[in-house]
Amino acid sequence: MKLTRYLVLLGLLPLGLLGSHDWPQFRGPGGRAMSDTAKPPNGFGSNLVWKVATPPGNSSPIVTSDRIFLTGAEGGKLVTICLNCRNGVELWRRAAPIESLRSWDPMTPGPATPTPVTDGESVYVFFGSFGLLAYTIEGAERWRQPLASPDLEASASLILIGHRLIVVCDRDRDSFLEARDTKDGRSLWRVNRSEFSRSRATPFHWVHSKGEELIVPGSFSLTSYNPHTGGQNWYFHGTSRVATSSPTAEGNLLISSSSNIGDNDSFSAGPDEGDSGDPGLSTGLIPELVPTQKERLPRGGKGLLAIRSCGRGDITKSHVAWMSTRSIPYSASPLVYRGRLFTIKAGGLLSAYDAQTGRPFYQDERLGRTGDVFGDYYASPIAADGRVYLLSAEGILTVIDAGANTPVVLDQYKISDTTTATPALVGNMMFVRTSKWLHGFGTGL
């Protein structure tokens, strides 16, 4: 079917049809990067419904009702944009109240990296160089809360836990974790994380059979907090110097991946015999782990691990269900789908495990022969309808069978642009943001 006919048919769809199952935050409902109801296309080359230009930015698209929201940086301004899901038409655009955005180092994440979050009535936006903004889905500003100390490189995306807007700002100085009221932006609780250095990972709301926890990856440590009070539950020490991926879960198991160039090869579960040699180590420690003259700290490390729920205090040795120190991705977050754990790393190397036991179905299997597939992967894998979707930095979108015991490639499609953003899945549509465009892919109606 021709593209123009798709546009006409989509324009006739009932309002809100595509938003019946929203993709409200980074990595979708609950931050799990999967949808139980979406049926995105398989065969992307023939299913491009629309394509619209967007300003530069690394934030991922989110969706509620019939609207897509994303942020960007253009003309010295930080902007929030709302588009129609059905045809990509821009509905409104709002600029953050800053005089002019200074230039930034292209090697850093950039000023429009945090992904917005929505509760269906409002959309909440975080720009590190300004602070927080809340808009109605119609574009009216509800409130604003500037940061006392702006940070151009802030990367962690917002999440919602009830009426609490969770903000993580781990940076070189004055790191913090805070819950803000969605009604007016006032602070409900705040945790000083000044002992943590800069990280880029989005927090995770872990809901399990015994309760709920707010999981925050940070430099050298993974920490659990009470989402209602901000009180600390537990910490796991020995992760990488910079947190770059977000956790996920399989029931009562938390799954976390940690990797950083220059760290030692695996997690440390006990005292290290020597210093890591990292001059930033002393600023990345949580207070309970400050060494005495007789004690040495575990070094930072990397690995894929599963943590059992309901720990207290230091769980570094007590609550690890399993771990793997092989095939660890750098940035793309792990995906749990239908009992399987999927990871993708640079070089197009895919691994799949039994999420409960860590037993690998396969490890470091290449996705294809195309050179672009072998590049970096920053976008997180996503899943729906029995398939896993993987997007390389060079714009290769690969679809695999989620249930196969070897990587069965169902489709590969080249998008003519680079990308770091995680796609969104809603209904029969997938929305893919690249460095210059937002693409809407859909199946036949």
pLDDT at 85: 93
How large a percentage of the chain has pLDDT more than 90? 67
Question: Does 101 score more than 70 pLDDT?
Answer: no
pLDDT at 200: 87
Given this model, what pLDDT does residue 172 score?
86
What is the spatial distance between Cα 364 and Cα 348, in angstroms, rounded to a whole number?
Answer: 8
Q: What is the pLDDT of residue 2?
A: 38
pLDDT at 10 over 80: no
Tokens 């029995």 sit on residue? 386
Q: Are 90 and 145 in contact (CB under 8 A)?
A: no
pLDDT in tens, 111-138: 789 999 999 999 999 998 899 999 999 9
Q: What is the mean pLDDT of residues 21-28?
A: 95
User: For residue 210, how far is the Cα from the chain centroid?
Assistant: 25
User: Sheet containing 48-53: which strands, arranged edge to edge?
Assistant: 48-53, 437-442, 429-433, 424-426
Q: What is the pLDDT of residue 45?
A: 84
DSSP per position, 25-69? STTSGGG-SEESS----S-GGG-EEEEEE--S--PPPEEETTEEE
Alpha-carbon torsion 370, 110, 388, 45, what sign? negative
pLDDT over threshold 50, residue 1: no
**Lowest mean pLDDT across 18-22, 38-42, 169-173, 391-395:** 18-22
Amino acid at 323: M
pLDDT at position 257, please?
A: 95
Specify the pLDDT at position 161. Answer: 97
pLDDT of residue 259: 84
Distances (CA, A) of 223 to 191, 246, 288, 301, 335: 12, 12, 12, 15, 20
Beta-strand pair 382-384/34-35: parallel
For 139-147, what is the mean pLDDT?
A: 96
Which of the four pLDDT bands, split at 50, 70 and 90, describes residue 221?
very high
| Whether the predicted pLDDT of 283 surpasses 70 | no
Can you give the pLDDT at residue 102? 64
Which of 15-24, 155-164, 425-434 is least confident?
Answer: 15-24
- The predicted pLDDT at position 13 comes to 38
Q: Which residue has the tokens 């290449």?
A: 366
The whole-number pLDDT of residue 275 equals 30
- Range of weakest confidence among 146-150, 204-208, 376-380: 146-150
Q: What is the pLDDT of residue 151?
A: 78
pLDDT of 422 strictly over 50: yes
30 has pLDDT over 50: yes
Instruction: Look at the chain and report how many structural domains it folds into.
Output: 1
pLDDT: which is higher, 225 or 14: 225
247: its two tokens: 């956790």
Using a pLDDT cut of 70, give the percent of the chain over it.
Answer: 82
Q: Return the closest-CA partner of residue 127 out of 103, 145, 106, 105.
A: 145
Instruction: Give the mean model confidence (pLDDT) for residues 291-313.
Output: 70
Task: Indicate the pLDDT class of residue 159, thresholds 50, 70 and 90.
Answer: very high
pLDDT of residue 128: 87
Do 320 and 358 meet the contact criterion of CB atoms below 8 Å apart? no
The boundaries of the domain holding residue 114 are: 3-288+296-442
3-state secondary structure the chain: CCHHHHHHHHHCCCCCCCCCCCECCCCCHHHCCEECCCCCCCCHHHCEEEEEECCCCCCCCEEECCEEEEEEEECCEEEEEEEECCCCCEEEEEECCCCCCCCCCCCCCCCCCCCCEECCCEEEEEECCCEEEEEECCCCEEEEEECCCCCCCCCCCCEEECCEEEEEECCCCCCEEEEEECCCCCEEEEEECCCCCCCCCCCEEEEECCEEEEEEEECCEEEEECCCCCCEEEEEECCCCCCCCCCEEECCEEEEEECCCCCCCCCCCCCCCCCCCCCCHHHCCCHHHCCCCCCCCCCCCCEEEEEECCCCEECCCCCEEEEECCCCCCCCCCEEECCEEEEEECCCEEEEEECCCCCEEEEEEECCCCHHHHCCCCCCCEEECCEEEEECCCCEEEEEECCCCCCCEEEEEECCCCCCCCCEEECCEEEEECCCEEEEEECCC
Per the prediction, the chain carries an average pLDDT of 85
Q: What is the pLDDT of residue 4?
A: 35
CATH number for the domain including 425? 2.130.10.10
**Mean pLDDT, rounded, for 182-194:** 96
Write the burial class of residue 53 (CB in 10 Å: 0-12 exposed, 13-18 middle, 19+ buried): exposed
269: pLDDT confidence band, cut at 50, 70 and 90?
Answer: very low
Residue 94 pLDDT: 97
Quick one: which of 372, 364, 408, 414 has its CA closest to 387? 408
